[in-house]
Amino acid sequence: MKDEIEFYVRYSETDQMSFVYHGNYVKYFEMGRIAWLNKLGFSYKKMEEDGILLPVIDLKINFKKSALFDDKLTLITTLISIPSYMIEFEYKIKREGSLISSGYTKLIFLNSKTNKPMRCPDQIINALKKV
């Protein structure tokens, strides 16, 4: 499953050289994951309230071109495979249709009470099977 969102680079996200500070791409990826879950019908906040955490355990970013203040960016978030204990996403950030950055994250489903890995909730698996 894939989701796409558009947003504008805010001034506070840029560095002294007027480029988007590299650490903000991690935040963009998070925006993409939250939007992806919402599109599937799930709230990240509700998952946390239900005792499910999703910490990032692997992250990769490939920078091709710089983004600047007020650029309109398109973020495409794609699920790599049906999740089990982990869930993996690929990301593409485009400006005017041209790829400027790509990335990857792996997150693990964690029980907040025991701090132990857990299987992906059945509701998410069942929702993915319907897509």
pLDDT single digits (tens) 42-57: 999 999 999 999 999 9
What is the full DSSP assignment across the chain?
A: -EEEEEEE--GGGB-TTSBBPTTHHHHHHHHHHHHHHHHHT--HHHHHHTTEE--EEEEEEEE-S--BTT-EEEEEEEE-S--SSEEEEEEEEEETTEEEEEEEEEEE-EETTTTEE-PPPHHHHHHHHH-
Complete domains list, the chain, with CATH:
2-130 (3.10.129.10)
Q: What is the pTM of this model?
A: 0.93
Tell me which residues are annotated as active site. Answer: 15
The pLDDT value recorded for residue 130 is 87
The pLDDT value recorded for residue 59 is 98
The pLDDT value recorded for residue 17 is 87
Q: What is the pLDDT of residues 61-94, one digit of tens each?
A: 999 999 999 999 999 999 999 999 999 999 999 9
